[in-house]
């Protein structure tokens, strides 16, 4: 028996993993303990700071509901989410880049015909989205799926709206035989991540703003291809250069072309100014994705 000092405690904790029969878990926990102890030694963490950290994580857990995921927000704002994505989804051959899922994905959005308006009764300037889903070889991918979601034109997601408003600005659209998609929604605007919880307190203490540039979310998938969780960012939006969750990528910035009131690409008459945006998504085949 021996007392632990500030160095030997790390070896002692790692030694307790000797019976662990999951090699990957053992590797991850060994590294986690090593870095965590190094961090505590590095900053010479005080007891008050330690209890503050425990309370912060407790508050983060308590802030989570079936419609709010404060831990994802914490991961996003500390750049961990985009780091994990960057390590695991290297874009290549001009394939579509990934970015953060964010806290507002809601499984089970309705499957809608091409051309549908996803944003019925949603505030915001109309925007008509179109383009193709292609392989990296340029071949159109028929039957590809876009699982789409966004906030409204004021930056509010359905999950944040008071009362139970149900799904808004969400939908699934399949491509046609030529790999084409088109749908109507709104032009998203910049918005703050939720600041009324522990992550908001952290951001204020760090001296950071909470804003994300305007973007629409989508998960793009096709048979035989790696699905990609991504966004389209609105060119010219505020905060493109300082996304609070570090998710902005140049290749995902799309130009929203403004039009006066009149006939939209879908043939419908729009009584207000509207936007059109075209963007092609290129997916890697699964074999190439697995080899990356």
Residue numbers at the binding site for Fe ion (CB under 5 A)? 102
Closest-approach residue to Fe ion (CB): 102
Of 229, 227, 142, give the one whose Cα is nearest residue 179: 142
Sign of CA dihedral 115, 126, 239, 166: negative
Q: Which residues are 148's β-sheet partners?
A: 171, 218
Cβ nearer to Fe ion, comparing 91 with 216: 216
Query: Considering only CA atoms, which of 219, 158, 152 is closest in space to residue 187?
Result: 152
- In angstroms, give the least distance from the CB of 252 to Fe ion: 12
Question: Least distance to Fe ion from the beta carbon of 148, Å?
Answer: 12
Other Cβ atoms less than 10 A from the Cβ of 230: the count is 26
Please, which residue, 27 or 251, has the CB nearer to Fe ion? Answer: 251
Shortest reach from residue 153's CB to Fe ion, in Å? 13
Nearer to Fe ion, 95 or 230 (CB): 230
Query: Is the CB of 215 or the CB of 284 nearer to Fe ion?
Result: 215
- With respect to Fe ion, which residue has the nearer C-beta, 56 or 71? 71
Residue 233's nearest CA partner among 219, 244, 248, 245 is 248
Q: How far is the CB of 159 from Fe ion (least distance, A)?
A: 11
Provide the minimum distance between the beta carbon of 282 and Fe ion in the complex, in angstroms, as a whole number: 22
Q: How far apart are alpha carbons 145 and 142 in whole angstroms?
A: 9
Those residues whose C-beta lies under 8 Å from the C-beta of residue 222, and which sit 6 or more positions away, are: 133, 141, 143, 144, 145, 175, 283
């Amino acid at each position: 028996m021996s007392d632990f000092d500030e160095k030997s405690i790390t070896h002692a904790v790692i030694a307790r993993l000797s019976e662990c029969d999951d090699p990957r878990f053992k590797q991850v926990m060994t590294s986690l303990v090593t870095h965590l102890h190094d961090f505590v030694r590095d900053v010479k963490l005080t007891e008050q700071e330690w209890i503050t950290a425990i309370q912060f994580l407790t508050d983060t857990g308590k802030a989570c509901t079936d419609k709010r995921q404060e831990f994802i927000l914490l991961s996003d704002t500390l750049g961990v989410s985009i780091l994990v994505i960057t390590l695991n989804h290297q874009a290549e051959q001009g394939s579509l880049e990934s970015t953060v899922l964010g806290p507002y994905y809601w499984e089970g959005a309705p499957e809608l015909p091409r051309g549908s308006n996803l944003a019925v009764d949603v505030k915001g300037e109309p925007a008509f989205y179109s383009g193709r889903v292609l392989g990296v070889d340029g071949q159109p991918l028929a039957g590809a799926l876009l699982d789409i979601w966004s906030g409204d034109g004021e930056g509010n997601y359905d999950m944040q709206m008071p009362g139970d408003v149900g799904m808004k600005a969400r939908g699934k659209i399949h491509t046609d035989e030529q790999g084409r998609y088109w749908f109507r929604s709104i032009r998203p605007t910049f918005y703050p991540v939720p600041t009324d919880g522990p992550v908001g307190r952290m951001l204020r203490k760090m001296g950071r703003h909470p804003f994300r540039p305007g973007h629409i979310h989508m998960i793009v998938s096709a048979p035989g291809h790696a699905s990609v969780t991504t966004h389209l960012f609105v060119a010219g939006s505020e905060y493109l250069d300082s996304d609070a969750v570090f998710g902005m990528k140049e290749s995902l910035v799309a130009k929203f072309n403004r039009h006066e009131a009149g006939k939209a690409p879908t043939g419908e008459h729009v009584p207000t100014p509207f936007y059109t945006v075209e963007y092609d998504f290129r997916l890697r085949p699964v074999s190439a994705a697995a080899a990356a």
